[in-house]
Structure 1
Amino acid sequence: MSGPTVTPPPGETSGGTSAAKTRVGFVGLGSQGGPMARRIVEAGHPTTLWARRPGSLEPFADTAAKTAGTPAEMAADCDVACVCVVDDADVEQVVTGENGILEGLAAGGVVVVHSTVHPDTCRRLADAAAARGVSVVDAPVSGGGQAAAEGRLLVMAGGDDAAVERCRPVFATYADPIVHLGPLGSGQLTKLLNNVLFTANLATAAGALALGRSLDVDPDRLAEVISHGSGTSFALGRVAAAGGTLGPMGERAGALLQKDARLLATVADAAGVPAGPVMRAADDALDLMEHRR
């Protein structure tokens, strides 16, 4: 097995010539991961893909991307292995399970966890990876598939400075800004806080529109006014677009928002820190979406 490519500062080698592109592996080609992987391929990084479902690979048939039979086979052909699957169990299976990434990734490689998971999951992975000379960076993202396709995702990174900087040219293919929050796990904590605040804002936005309706203020006009005022929020736009209710949001994203609220509550409980009003408001939204925490 060949060793990892040593990536110099972006765009330059010690001789001043164009830098070699980092070899990238990618797992998790869903609505967000798929556009991220395509951006990596189109930026010229040698890319190897693995997917449980062959259909997920079909959109890449017209690209330079290679495919692998297992995550381990994929990892043996890359320096940075990106994981963008749904939950903690999926991440651990792909990274540390049989034929997982750690079985193939050479010493010096980096595993990037783009999934939103418990910070402790990333720390467990880092312990297992360290025994093989591999680093882990947690780098959850925000923005959705369209933002990924346009190269404007938000990446919230946690991990060793050198490991994060090594991944930065890869992140830059699909993200702007890229924010390094601190040590491993800090990216996940930041993403969970963001998602719980968004969930809380859904409750307050829906509550304001409902209260206005009860007081004979047209909810569409009210939403139009608030969107130009100090009370506006991204959540208000989502609630207004759904007719002032959280039903459609619950169908699309209720389970994921519930998962993230549960994760943050677990972290806060373990730290002995009261979650406070943001969690109470988030719980109100989850109740309205019929996804009680």
Structure 2
Amino acid sequence: MTDNKIIRTGFIGLGSQGGPMARRMAEAGYPLTLWARRPEALEAFADTAATHAPSIAALGAASDHVGLCVVDDAGVQAVCADLIPTMAAGSRIIIHSTVHPQTCLDLAAQASTRGIALIDAPVSGGGPGATAGTLTVMVGGDANAVADARPVFESFAGSIVHLGGVGAGQLAKLINNALMAAHMALANHALDAGSTLGIDHKPLTELVRVSSGRSYGFEVAARLPDPTAFAHGAKLLAKDVRLLGEVLGDDPDARIFDQLTRPFLDRAQQ
């Protein structure tokens, strides 16, 4: 395994999930450089050996492996526009954000002109999973580049699955999140049906959790006092269902996911 002391890492996107991922990297002993738009995001790393770069370009020049966990395609593209010109040949950029697969393919083509590998590696498990080091990492990219990046992933992951070339990780994440949205939508219908039929919420949820109808999506839906309490998560899932629809085009599966999830996701965002 590569010595983690000689992999110079960087991280951008220190939110509720990216922040704990970066901390796990620092605690694993990786030399870590950080950049953030908001200075307060860096305060949480005062007790670590992580250093702060004055710019994205400076972070890129100081890093062999840079992880991005920013919100959307536009954010990923903007960060990479500053990273790619400054990172050395043989280095790698890791997209942990959930974005359109084509975004990753386009950026990978740009990075390759400078000898930089780009890997898409969206994650599942949220902030708690990142803190515990149990995230699932869905990886797309060149096999050799993925093998080199794997030791860093292991600092915050419980499961690492290489799914194919660049973009494959994003495709898998979109499918996973569309399933999550569908499970939550069906769970909401089931709980509403139970209420209509006079079955108390608590015993019904206890029953389903230990029966064949159980799912993680049901457990999340069952905890909600009302779908609107899931407004932030619903916004993200709606984006991912939309992206999957764009990738699938006229495929009937795209319509099925949209039909299953739209009423619940729209209601949650009201």
TM-score normalised by the chain length of structure 2: 0.96
Distance in 1 (alpha carbons) for counterparts of 2:6 and 2:205: 47
Query: Partner residue of 1:130?
Result: 112
TM superposition shift of 1:276: 4.4
Query: Partner residue of 2:190?
Result: 208
Distance in 1 (alpha carbons) for counterparts of 2:256 and 2:246: 16
The answer to whether residue 243 in structure 2 is matched with residue 258 in structure 1 is no
Report the AA paired with residue 279 of structure 1. Answer: D
TM superposition shift of 1:204: 0.5
The answer to whether residue 62 in structure 2 is matched with residue 77 in structure 1 is yes
8 Å CA contact retained: 2:5, 2:31: no
Unpaired segments of 5 or more residues in structure 1?
Answer: 1-8, 12-18
Query: Partner residue of 1:24?
Result: 9
Residue 33 of structure 1, aligned match among 18, 21, 24? 18
Residue 228 of structure 2, aligned match among 247, 259, 269? 247
Distance in 1 (alpha carbons) for counterparts of 2:212 and 2:79: 44
Distance in 1 (alpha carbons) for counterparts of 2:269 and 2:97: 24
Q: Secondary structure at the match of 2:99?
A: coil
Query: Partner residue of 2:123?
Result: 141
Distance in 2 (alpha carbons) for counterparts of 1:159 and 1:279: 29
Residue 54 of structure 1, aligned match among 9, 17, 39? 39
Q: Secondary structure at the match of 2:85?
A: helix
Q: Secondary structure at the match of 1:155?
A: strand
TM-score normalised by the chain length of structure 1: 0.89
Residue 251 of structure 2, aligned match among 255, 264, 273? 273
8 Å CA contact retained: 1:200, 1:283: no
Residue 75 of structure 2, aligned match among 90, 107, 123? 90
1:260-287 Cα shifts (integer Å, max 9, x gaps): 1111111111xx4221433321223212
Query: Partner residue of 2:178?
Result: 196
Distance in 1 (alpha carbons) for counterparts of 2:144 and 2:179: 31
Unpaired segments of 5 or more residues in structure 2?
Answer: none
Distance in 2 (alpha carbons) for counterparts of 1:33 and 1:81: 12
Distance in 1 (alpha carbons) for counterparts of 2:47 and 2:193: 52
Distance in 2 (alpha carbons) for counterparts of 1:29 and 1:197: 27
Distance in 1 (alpha carbons) for counterparts of 2:37 and 2:147: 30
Residue 101 of structure 2, aligned match among 116, 119, 123? 119
Residue 45 of structure 1, aligned match among 30, 37, 40? 30
Query: Partner residue of 1:180?
Result: 162
1:155-186 Cα shifts (integer Å, max 9, x gaps): 00000001111100000000010000111101
RMSD: 1.3
The answer to whether residue 214 in structure 2 is matched with residue 232 in structure 1 is yes
Query: Partner residue of 1:16?
Result: none
Which structure shows the higher helix fraction? 2
8 Å CA contact retained: 2:235, 2:269: no
